[in-house]
Chain A
Amino acid sequence: MTALALSVEDVMRVLESVPDPEIPVVSVCGLGIIRDVAIEGDGVRVVVTPTYSGCPATEVIAASIREALVAAGAGDVRIETRLSPAWTTDWITPAARASLAAYGIVPPGERRTDGAQPIRLVARSVSCPRCGGRPTTQLSAFGATACKALYRCEVCREPFEVFKDI
């Protein structure tokens, strides 16, 4: 078995360049789904926590990670799925939040941690990412991908997306 030329830091640098397939301005690291990286012999083990159980991007993400690491010289790439602790939008990095905002997607807000949840859908109050205007209206609690909701700005009338807090 030959020793791998990659270090954990190298692997993380490679993963920083692997985009989320549905929101390409954010990397898999920025999204906070990379939970652990280990060098094992001549291979790499990457532990990934999925965002949503039914997210169709999950398999594309695993394939992109594998492809990028193999291209960087990793012999064997093992991708492990870890469900617990469950992914939360709190794991999205500050840099990724800034990229989301610049891309026109309102980043997630503070998650409620006390366990109490409103039974009515109380929409988050956000400003329009294009014109900064308020008020804005939630058009749908769900959006074009599992992780987002759809809003409209009542000032410039443009629709925009908001990252759901989970």
Chain B
Amino acid sequence: MSVHFDYLLRLADTSLVLGQRLSEWCGHGPVLEEDLALTNVALDCIGQARLLLSHAADVEGQGRDEDQLAFLRDDGRYRNLTIVELPNGDFGATVVRNLLVNAWQAQVWASLADSTDRALAAIAEKSAKETRYHVTHAADWTIRLGDGTDESHGRMQSALDRLWPYTAEFFVVDALDEAVAAAGIAPLCSTLEAAWMATVAPVFEEATLTVPGRSPFRSRGKTGVHTEHLGHLLAGMQHLQRAYPGGQW
């Protein structure tokens, strides 16, 4: 497996799994407008994942396609960041995660503009416009609920406390990150942290939420080490192709 392919899977799987989690809100949103909003964000994420997986399949050159990559890999082959596979929690926890992840994605897409992989740069250019919208939506709700009632503030703070440790993984450099940086495919992920923090910190401040300090905890979803939650998510998402291999609409 090439580092190029593996790197594309990290981006694609993070978008795909977040999109799958957000789609669980379909029909369950607190109000109709937010049900639509979360499923719209889900749709954008899944669209980004489709473009990235199709490109990954081309790079791999083994004749696989986006569907085979999405539906026929087990959890150990998934390379998404751990934070996106965690269960949604309540609406507040969902928007806190969206803010953390979407703000990271915004930095990633921007950083790929000069990638030596021109197809990836094009996907990033397209995705950046959508992600910008997702960030503003999540930021708006984070402020509204964080600086809201005692109940909403307490829930938002506990969601942030629970999710924050998983953001360390966004910026931890491993051998694969070094290899893609050396190839000019993407800058080192650690270089994105300051700009990401400059996006999210003012939002949490306005939301009257306290940003936790860094702990030694490191999740490792991007290396294929996942929580027990991902297998359950994939069982639902992959059911049709597993039960009826090769089935088509």
A interface residues, Cβ below 8 angstroms from B: 50, 52-56, 83-88, 117-121, 139-144, 146, 150, 164, 166
Contact = CB atoms under 8 A, between A and B. Distances in A.
Interface in B25-62: 33-34, 36-37, 40-48, 50-51
Nearest to B103: A119
Given A121-B140, A166-B133, A150 B33 contact: yes
Contact of A53 (B51, B135, B139, B143): B51
B43 A54 contact: yes
A148 B1 CA distance: 41
Interface in B103-141: 119, 121-123, 125-130, 132-133, 135-137, 139-140
A57 to B, nearest CB: 11
Interface of B: 19, 33-34, 36-37, 40-48, 50-51, 119, 121-123, 125-130, 132-133, 135-137, 139-140, 143, 199, 202-203
Given A85-B125, A118-B136, A53 B40 contact: no
Q: Which of B45, B46, B136 has the most CB of A within 10 A?
A: B136
B121 to A, nearest CB: 7
B35 to A, nearest CB: 9
Given A121-B137, A166-B129, A141 B37 contact: yes
A121 B36 contact: no
A54 B45 CA distance: 7
Contacts, number: 89
A83 B122 contact: yes
Contacts of B34: 140
Contacts of A142: 33, 36-37, 40-41, 137
B135 A119 contact: yes
Contacts of A52: 43-44, 47, 130
